[in-house]
Amino acid sequence: MNYAGMNAGSLTFTASLVVVALGGPSVLDTFQVLQLSAYSSLALGVVGLAFVWGILGILSLGHAAFFGIGAYAYAILSIAQGESTFAVAAAILAPSVLAVCLGYFLFYGRVGDVYLSVITLCVSLILFSFMNSTADVSYTLLSVPLGGFNGISAVPPLNWPGFVGDFLTPEATFSLCFLLLAAVYLALQFLRGTRLGRIMASVRENERRCELLGYDPRWLKLVGFVISAAIAGLAGALFTANTGYVGPTVFDLGQSSQFILWAIAGGMGTLSGAIIASFMLQFLASFIGTSQLFNTSLVFGTVIIFFVYALPNGIVPSLQGLLRKLSRLARRQRRRPEVIGDSIKSTP
């Protein structure tokens, strides 16, 4: 296992994200640019979950709560102000504040793992239920109607900071989304290798031992939880900026379970895996959705069963294992003549 955090693999992965960010717009058509921008913002959401789950061992089943609050915060503020800079900041801040409050009670109250998952899930479902019942025109925030199950539409895209009305082109948004994804990935990967990150991993491995060594696991978990919530909030803001719409479904079970599915498929403990899996499965979802052959939920149910049974380590760790096996095989092939000689000699 590599503890360096920043290794050749993670730097290569970051570099490829940057290449996509800068080179993508010149080879892709506008539809693909828009589609991939939306995909990348969901990928950003899952990388935060992969961090808090894979490194700290906290299964936040309701990660959509933070994503959704970020999405709504962006929608409301960008409409109210006509400017997106403060809206993005608020989309990061609001879920972080919720994560601090929620995390304080969960971790300092020593709520067990399973209950923690259930509570986070309930929080997102409560928000879903609440947002669904705000259809009446009297429900407004900063004079922006919340819209109930219809959601908020015509949300303005991102604009250059400080320049009202000077919107980013879809291509610029695409580049920004991928660069942010690369930056967050790299920052989290860097964090893993630091002293703090390594101690966080020890919380996942054995919380009691970590505590008996003199570290406070409650604090470490809270920090990680808030980091992942902030990332999810940013992801929500970018998603809404890309699609121009936010509705209560950002809080629903489907959204939360999608994040979980991507993190599992990508491989627990890897951040790049979650990103790769999220893109693959989003393409799959959109393919199934457009071809209308199967029910998407049915296919995803099958996919999750497949991963749990056939590739329990997830895509990236399984590929790494395969590569290691192949290179060992290649080395053995080079030495084969001697090996055969030995085995003949040793046969009685």
Partner 1 sequence: MTAMIETVGLTCRFGGVVAVDNVSLKIEEGELRCLIGPNGAGKTSLFKCLSGQVQPSGGRVLMKGREISRFHPHEIARMGMAIKMQVPSVFNGLSVHENVWLAAARLHRGKALEAIVDETLSAVGFRSAEAREKRADELSHAHRQWIELAMLAACKPAIALLDEPAAGMTQDEMLRTVELIKTINRSTTILVVEHDLEFISLLARKVTVLHQGKIFVEDTMSNISNNAAVREIYLGKQWRMAQ
Task: State in angstroms the smallest separation of the CB of 3 from partner 1.
Answer: 6
Task: State in angstroms the smallest separation of the CB of 247 from partner 1.
Answer: 40
Among 95, 147, 156, 217, binds partner 1 (CB under 8 A): 217
Q: Is 141 helix (H, G, I), strand (E, B) or coil?
A: strand
Q: By the 8 A CB rule, do 44 and 234 touch?
A: yes
Count the residues of the shown chain that bind partner 1, applying the rule CB under 8 A.
20
- Among 64, 65, 71, smallest CA distance to 90 is for 71
Q: Is 214 a binder of partner 1 (CB under 8 A)?
A: yes
Among 149, 153, 209, 244, binds partner 1 (CB under 8 A): 209
Q: Which of residues 141-200 bind partner 1 (CB under 8 A)?
A: 195, 198-199
- The full DSSP string for 36-91 is HHHHHHHHHHHHHHHHHHHTT----TTTHHHHHHHHHHHHHHHHHHS-SHHHHHHH
Contacts of 80 (CB under 8 A, 6+ apart): 142, 143, 144
Task: State in angstroms the smallest separation of the CB of 317 from partner 1.
Answer: 13
Q: Find the largest Cα–Cα distance for the chain.
A: 90
CA distance 120 to 100: 13
Q: Which two tokens stand for residue 59?
A: 């299964």
Task: State in angstroms the smallest separation of the CB of 347 from partner 1.
Answer: 31
Q: Which of residues 189-208 bind partner 1 (CB under 8 A)?
A: 195, 198-199, 201-202, 204-206, 208
HSE, side-chain direction, 13 A CA sphere, residue 296: 14
Q: Is 29 a binder of partner 1 (CB under 8 A)?
A: no
Q: Is 1 a binder of partner 1 (CB under 8 A)?
A: yes
Residue closer to partner 1, measured from CB, 195 or 336? 195
Among 3, 149, 190, 283, binds partner 1 (CB under 8 A): 3
Residue closer to partner 1, measured from CB, 214 or 337? 214
Residue numbers at the binding site for partner 1 (CB under 8 A): 1, 3, 195, 198-199, 201-202, 204-206, 208-217
